[in-house]
């Protein structure tokens, strides 16, 4: 056998032995038992002290506030979301007090304007919206209601309003298509607005032979779009058809 | 920001360092393919660059994982990719592709090619230098004709294995991007092939730059036969690479998926300078036309008769432009793919920071580092052929 092969063989064998030895030493014993991780990590994490108490623990002592919150628009927001981990407070209520965020930067974490948030979710521009005044001055975080009920749809649905404003439907008021009870403005989640649920609604303007101006596109409602509702294919706030 | 962007898309997750990583691995694969031209395909003209190409590939391979390590953080944990391999992760398996390429292909080929020189240097040297070179020979000091023939034969076989390995090394990088199906800018089966050929282009151009500049500094005469051949191969590689890129482009246009609108906005706006100006015009068309006219790629005596000194300069200029173009390709893929929203309705912006672990400064250091490593390698393993001539006064 050529000398090169034996020497290289020795070098590679040494490397392989070192690799196996390092692997034996460094790979944790329980690695791979339950997946591509150290199975004992679950026990290590379990052994860590609890920091959150859970909203039920809060309710036991703070029932009036808890009831108020659970009936409000913040019913889905747990106490510790704003007040922080409260396990220490539950263990020693007199010694540890949970935080109560009053700075202006806190509420906009959820309520600052962001185009990707759902339309209708209350959002403000923190720079322009009553600058320097703490949010709690006007809004009660345990029962947040706007101090003034918005008069226009665009107060909450600004994104849709701006889109519609440059569309062929710009002249149509929102209430042409949506039935929005007055209560929706004060309790937007409890009372929801409706939207057209039949093809005939759009057909009122867009069916062939409908009593509408000639520049409005018309289709044969019997054959066009099978059984789909119109808004399943066309976006009514910015309809694409010319 | 422009249009609609999801909150987790404002900021790019993969920055400048991830641009650097495919750029560096591409240079490795390309330099190796150039070396294989001399070794396997018997292109005699490029032999002066054979060893230089191997050392260049090694120097860049050593530095190639550093951008990843810097990007991921925790370099002290990086070895775990080998100890507890995750066979389901393409990224994790790269560790093994890298190790295979480094240990079995490059180091072995260099060792077999240099063994004779190492033994002779160890015999002539004294003191620590002698022991250093003796260690590098691994004790295999047999210089009989039979042993040297064996070195040559094995070296050739390793190069043959090395070609698919180099394809794997860089094709894999394209594979990582090409298999992100949620991203219409990346998701393409052509991606690994385009990466591969752009790698070959960049590798040949890099070795050409290093060869021309190093020869100048060493006051030797440039082997114009070699430079002409390199320029010709660079020309052919650019033709194939550019054709593949255009094929990908036309295919996207013809397919006209729902993403086409945002992608055209991306090309016309955010990527105009890096894609149209740097990648296509300066990085591809200018070198392509210049090399086509000046080099003997299209006809034996080249279309324009230009003196060797000027030709060298044009080659050097083209090779530098090609590097800028290939870097732009990596930039356009990595950064471009993150500039548009998954909603296909908005674009974000990327601004590289100067300092910081993923900043321009670190990227600059990582770009210079392979040259320093190459300098050390060249010092230890001189790659220059014995037959070189000193530069004549008029050259």
Name residues of chain A where pLDDT drops below 70: 241-242
pLDDT greater than 80 at residue B223 = yes
pLDDT greater than 60 at residue B392 = no
pLDDT greater than 70 at residue B190 = yes
Q: How far apart are CA B113 and CA A154, in angstroms?
A: 75
pLDDT digits (tens, 9 = 90+) for B162-177: 888 888 888 888 999 9
Q: What is residue A214's predicted lDDT score, i.e. its pLDDT? A: 87
Chain B: closest CA distance from residue A90 (Å)? 35
pLDDT digits (tens, 9 = 90+) for A37-59: 999 999 999 999 999 999 999 99
The residues on B that touch A, with CB distances below 8 Å, are 4-7, 80, 82-84, 86, 88, 103, 108, 111-112, 115, 137-142, 146-147, 150-151, 154, 343
pLDDT (average), residues B259-272: 92
pLDDT (average), residues B77-101: 88
Name A161's Cβ contacts closer than 8 Å, sequence gap at least 6: A153, A154, A174
Contact of B205 with B213, CB cutoff 8 Å: no
Q: Using the CB atoms, write b or e for A189-205: b if 16+ within 10 Å.
A: eeeebeebeebebbbeb
Question: Looking at the complex, does the CB of residue A23 fall below 8 Å from at least one CB of chain B?
Answer: yes
pLDDT greater than 90 at residue B62 = yes
Q: What is residue B206's predicted lDDT score, i.e. its pLDDT? A: 97
| Chain B positions in Cβ-Cβ contact with residue A15 (cut-off 8 Å) | 103
The answer to whether A27 contacts B5, with C-beta atoms less than 8 Å apart, is no
pLDDT digits (tens, 9 = 90+) for B346-375: 899 998 889 888 899 999 999 999 999 999
Return the domain boundaries, chain A: 48-96, 171-233
Query: Helices (DSSP H) in chain B: which residue ranges?
Result: 16-39, 50-63, 65-72, 80-83, 90-99, 108-124, 127-137, 145-178, 191-217, 224-255, 260-268, 286-294, 308-334, 336-339, 360-380
CATH class of A48-96: mainly alpha
Name A39's Cβ contacts closer than 8 Å, sequence gap at least 6: A30, A31, A32, A33
Return the domain boundaries, chain B: 12-380
pLDDT greater than 90 at residue B319 = yes
Contact of A73 with A146, CB cutoff 8 Å: no
Q: What is residue A192's predicted lDDT score, i.e. its pLDDT? A: 87
Name A159's Cβ contacts closer than 8 Å, sequence gap at least 6: A115, A119
Question: Looking at the complex, does the CB of residue A31 fall below 8 Å from at least one CB of chain B?
Answer: yes
Model ipTM over 0.90: no
Contact of A201 with A177, CB cutoff 8 Å: yes
pLDDT (average), residues B237-247: 95
Nearest CA in chain A to B87: A36
Question: Looking at the complex, does the CB of residue A114 fall below 8 Å from at least one CB of chain B?
Answer: yes
By Cβ distance, the residue of B83, B88, B140 closest to A7 is B140
Question: Looking at the complex, does the CB of residue A115 fall below 8 Å from at least one CB of chain B?
Answer: yes
Nearest CA in chain A to B104: A12
Chain A: closest CA distance from residue B111 (Å)? 10
| Chain A positions in Cβ-Cβ contact with residue B107 (cut-off 8 Å) | none
Q: How far apart are CA B13 and CA B23, in angstroms?
A: 18
pLDDT digits (tens, 9 = 90+) for A200-221: 899 999 998 888 888 898 899 8
pLDDT digits (tens, 9 = 90+) for B110-119: 999 999 999 9
């Amino acid at each position: 056998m050529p000398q090169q092969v034996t020497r290289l063989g020795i070098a590679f064998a040494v490397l392989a032995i070192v690799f196996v030895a390092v692997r034996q030493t460094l790979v944790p014993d329980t690695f791979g038992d339950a997946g591509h991780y150290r199975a004992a990590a679950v026990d290590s994490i379990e052994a860590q002290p609890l920091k959150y108490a859970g909203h039920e623990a809060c309710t036991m002592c703070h029932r009036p506030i808890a009831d108020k919150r659970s009936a409000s628009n913040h019913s889905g927001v747990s106490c510790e979301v704003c007040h922080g981990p409260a396990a220490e407070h539950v263990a020693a209520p007199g010694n540890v007090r949970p935080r109560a965020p009053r700075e202006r930067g806190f509420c906009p974490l959820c309520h600052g304007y962001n185009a990707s948030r759902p339309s209708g979710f209350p959002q403000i521009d923190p720079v322009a919206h009553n600058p320097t005044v703490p949010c709690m001055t006007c809004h009660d975080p345990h029962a947040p209601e706007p101090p003034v009920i918005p008069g226009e749809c665009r107060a909450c649905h600004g994104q849709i309003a701006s889109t519609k404003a440059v569309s062929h439907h710009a002249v149509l008021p929102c209430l042409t298509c949506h039935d929005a009870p007055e209560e929706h403005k004060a309790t937007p989640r409890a009372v929801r607005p409706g939207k057209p649920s039949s093809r005939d609604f759009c057909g009122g303007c867009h069916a062939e032979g409908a009593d509408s101006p000639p520049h409005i596109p018309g289709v044969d409602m019997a054959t066009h779009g099978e059984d789909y509702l119109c808004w399943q294919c066309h976006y009514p706030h910015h309809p694409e058809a010319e | 920001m422009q249009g609609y962007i999801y909150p987790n898309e404002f900021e790019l997750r993969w920055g400048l360092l991830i641009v650097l990583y495919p750029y560096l691995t591409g240079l490795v694969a390309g330099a190796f393919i150039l070396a294989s031209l001399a070794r396997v395909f018997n292109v005699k003209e490029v032999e002066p660059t054979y060893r230089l190409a191997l050392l260049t590939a090694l120097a860049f391979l050593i530095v190639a994982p550093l951008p990843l390590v810097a990007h991921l953080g925790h370099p002290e944990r990086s070895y775990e990719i080998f100890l507890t391999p995750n066979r389901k992760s393409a990224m994790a398996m790269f560790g093994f592709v890298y190790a295979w390429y480094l240990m079995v292909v490059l180091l072995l080929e260099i060792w077999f090619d240099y063994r004779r020189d190492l033994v002779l240097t160890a015999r002539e040297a004294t003191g620590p230098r002698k022991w250093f070179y003796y260690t590098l020979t691994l004790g295999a000091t047999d210089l009989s004709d039979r042993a040297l023939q064996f070195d040559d034969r094995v070296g050739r076989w390793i190069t043959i294995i090395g070609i698919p390995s180099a394809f794997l090394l860089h094709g894999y990088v394209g594979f990582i991007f090409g298999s992100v199906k949620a991203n219409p800018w990346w998701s393409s089966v052509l991606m690994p092939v385009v990466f591969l050929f752009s790698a070959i282009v960049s590798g040949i151009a890099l070795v050409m730059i290093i060869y021309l500049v190093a020869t100048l500094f060493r006051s030797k005469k440039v082997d114009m036969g070699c430079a002409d051949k390199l320029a010709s191969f660079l020309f052919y590689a650019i033709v194939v690479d550019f054709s593949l890129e255009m094929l990908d482009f036309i295919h996207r246009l013809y397919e006209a998926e729902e993403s086409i609108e945002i992608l055209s906005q991306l090309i016309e706006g955010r990527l105009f300078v890096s894609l149209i100006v740097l990648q296509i015009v300066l990085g591809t068309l200018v070198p392509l036309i210049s090399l086509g006219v000046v080099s003997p790629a299209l006809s034996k005596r080249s279309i324009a008769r230009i003196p060797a000194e000027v030709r060298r300069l044009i080659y050097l200029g083209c090779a530098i432009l090609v590097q800028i173009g290939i870097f732009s390709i990596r930039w356009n893929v990595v950064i471009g793919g993150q500039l548009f929203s998954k909603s296909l309705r908005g674009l974000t912006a990327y601004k590289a920071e100067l300092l910081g672990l993923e900043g321009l400064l670190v990227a600059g250091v990582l770009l210079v580092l392979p040259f320093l490593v190459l300098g050390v390698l060249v010092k230890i393993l001189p790659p220059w052929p014995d037959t070189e001539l000193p530069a004549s006064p008029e050259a």
